[in-house]
Chains A and B, each alone.
Chain A
Amino acid sequence: MAQSKDLGKGFKLNRRHFLAAAISAAVMLSTTPMMALADKPATADVNTTGLAVTDDTVTVGILHSITGTMAISEEGSVQAEILAIEQINAMGGVLGRQIQYIQEDGASDWPTFADRSRKLLRQDNVAAVFGCWTSASRKAVLPIFERFNGMLYYPTFYEGLEQSPNVIYTGQEATQQILAGLDWISNEKSAKSFYLIGSDYIWPRTSNKIARIHIEQHLGGSVVGEDYFPLGHTSFNSVINRIRLRKPDVVFASVVGGSNVAFYRQLKAAGLDMSKEDFTLLTISVTEDEILGIGGENIEGAYASMKYFQSLDNENNDAFVKAFKERWGENAVIGDVTQAAYLGPWLWKAAVEAAGSFDVDKVREASPGVELTTAPEGYVRIHENHHLWSKTRIGEAQRDGQFKVVYETDDLMEPNPFPAGYQ
């Protein structure tokens, strides 16, 4: 401050003033880190439950599948979490401590997830775990996190119907994603008839249940078909004929994994135009990651309802995409879940700092209301139910594999994992 005051006086800066200014500046500079050091709370104060916290470091866990069928989906989450941790460390860490991470492989196998999470919590005493992707893996580790009082940051958009004191859900639960998407398409495309199609497991079935109730009771539309296919199903020609026959305004798709590629390639090959002529396709399961396999030319014109797209135009996201590509390569793509995974370490940091402690109980207490203004998706805040307030957006798939954002909700959508009237 002294410096700028002197400079403000114009050219009257004489040697004495200059010296005084220089010295005060030097003192300020040299004391800042010392003060920070003095500010750093003692380990005994911030860690009363025996977590892996030292004077300089704090250890967290990353638990995703890096081998097996789910590796395709979870790879992006691992990358995002590592990036976030590195960025936090570059900024000085959490409560003056650098974050170290222990990465475990869930190997796409739910018992392995449970086993590895037990190891992270009991043997490594990690302060938090960022991980899991499928609901099945989350359900497998849940009892362990609750029993040993760990904290899990779970990134995937999922079916809801769960709220654990030991999990922070950084992806959207079903109603946030579905209701906004259906409202938009019903207004924008005057859609009346809907065809629901999904893979056969809990997430698509729960999502379609919510969608059906919303369509029939709130939008005044009708559901003309509802079909499920075994995971990994690769022949969709019959259902495509069913869709032709029923002529719905909208096909609402929650097909996942390898089936996704087959479904969109066969739609395209069948000569159906999913953007306007034949029907509008709205999906809740295709992100930029999936388009890599599907091919942009095969899904061009379809709409996706999510909270994040790589093409979002804001400062936070520009910086995030740039940093992600610098760290993981120019060709890296970032889907909805990858961004949600990136939020995990940042939300944990904010909660720890709000609590002034690494203790899981205190972090949990401090979590509701924790907000992040630097999130790539914009602004998010943790709700009392451990899910995030977030906006929902509609993106139109482009040939180059990106989405063009055509709509976003005005307000943050309230997370509602147990939606009354939708169960």
Chain B
Amino acid sequence: MFSDFSTAELMAIFAMQGFAGLILFAVFILMALGLAIIFGQMGVINMAHGEFMILGAYVTYLTSTLFSTHAPDLFGAYFFFAIVFAFFAAALLGALVEWSMIRFLYHRPLDTLLATWGLSLILQQAYRSIFGAREVGVVIPDWLMGSYQLTDMIEVPINGIFVMCLALAATVFVITLMYRSRWGMQVRAVVQNRQMAGAVGINSAKVDRMTFALGCGIAGVAGSAFTMIGSTGPSSGQLYIVDTFLVVVFGGAGSLLGTVASAFSISQSQSILEFFMGGSMAKVLTLLIVVMILMFRPQGLFSLKVRR
């Protein structure tokens, strides 16, 4: 298939294809990071994860309209504010949901699946009632929508680079929080043994609420970033939920490192396969590979040895 192209062309395409894979990797990281905390660490099967992401997207939409009407001069920078707002909005809703629903279900993990699925339907219909059934068009500042000309033939989308930076920042933030802070130590303690953690004086209810809120907040950040590359509508969250669970389960629940590794391998294989055989077949093959590997390693790529 490559015989009619010059070497320079092929090099350029492979370079751009490498970037495409990295961008997809960053997208997967952002999608999965929040769920890795909620599902991986807490064991809550959060089917409403996509809806928390879309909350972030809608907050971004509101911020963009706010800035374009009240502070048009600052419009180019509104995205940074939007990301912060999205984090807090989603985290707040997450804390509310944890307090009103999830905390009663920690001992019944399978029931969280049903409860959060119901929550996702409620949220979707709420978005539909508030923002209308149609997708909203989030206007992205011009500087984010262009592409960066690396060489004559290699062009890299700027929003891709932005998503990559954001994914990196979010990952560093979460890992530092989980493994280098006192609070992270408490979270890990609660995950490993709830009773014991309580016995040594950790307020496990509070830790749970904060952890859930953090996961949701990160989902909100992801949703905010995805307005650049995807649609913002009441049911857009559904587009991401399958891939998100795939990444977390494949990586091994409970392991943040596993999530990163799995996001990398799935995104690379999907992106390369897509290039050679188109979207649908690539998806089928990626899923096949994942299923095969999970057959031999049901616990995922990486798994923590935890005494439950």
Q: Which residues of A contact B (CB under 8 A)?
A: 66-69, 71-72, 75, 200, 226-230, 232-235, 237-242, 244-245, 257-262, 265-266, 268-271, 289, 291-298, 401
Q: Which residues of B contact A (CB under 8 A)?
A: 5, 9, 13, 16-17, 19-21, 23-24, 27, 125, 128, 132-140, 145-147, 149, 155, 157-160, 226, 228-236, 238-240, 270-272, 274-275, 278-280, 282-283
What are some 14 contacts across the A-B interface (CB < 8 A)?
Answer: A71-B133, A200-B279, A200-B280, A230-B280, A233-B283, A235-B27, A237-B271, A244-B13, A260-B231, A271-B149, A291-B137, A292-B134, A293-B137, A295-B137
Residues of B contacting A258 in the complex (Cβ-Cβ under 8 angstroms): 135, 230-231, 233, 235-236, 239
Residues of A contacting B9 in the complex (Cβ-Cβ under 8 angstroms): 245
Residues of A contacting B137 in the complex (Cβ-Cβ under 8 angstroms): 291-296, 401
- Complex: how many Å from CA A254 to CA B193? 52
Residues of B contacting A291 in the complex (Cβ-Cβ under 8 angstroms): 137
Q: A227-B279, A234-B230, A294-B137 are in contact. List 15 more A-B contacts (CB 8 A).
A: A68-B235, A72-B134, A72-B234, A226-B278, A237-B157, A237-B271, A238-B272, A239-B275, A241-B275, A259-B231, A269-B157, A269-B228, A293-B135, A293-B136, A295-B138
User: Which 9 residue pairs spanning A and B have beta carbons closest together?
Assistant: A293-B135, A271-B147, A229-B279, A261-B231, A237-B20, A269-B157, A71-B133, A238-B274, A227-B278
Given known contacts A237-B157, A241-B275, A260-B231, A232 and B135 CB-to-CB distance under 8 angstroms: no
Q: How far is the CB of B21 from chain A (nearest CB, A)?
A: 8
- Complex: how many Å from CA A259 to CA B145? 18
Main secondary structure of the interface of A (DSSP, over half): helix
Contact B24 A235 (CB under 8 A): yes
Contact A289 B235 (CB under 8 A): no
Given known contacts A238-B20, A292-B136, A262 and B157 CB-to-CB distance under 8 angstroms: no
Q: Which residue of A lies closest to B232 (CB)?
A: A293
Residues of B contacting A240 in the complex (Cβ-Cβ under 8 angstroms): 20
- Complex: how many Å from CA A257 to CA B134? 11
Q: Which residue of A lies closest to B274 (CB)?
A: A238
Contact A269 B274 (CB under 8 A): no
Contact B228 A265 (CB under 8 A): yes
Residues of A contacting B229 in the complex (Cβ-Cβ under 8 angstroms): 234-235, 262, 265-266, 269
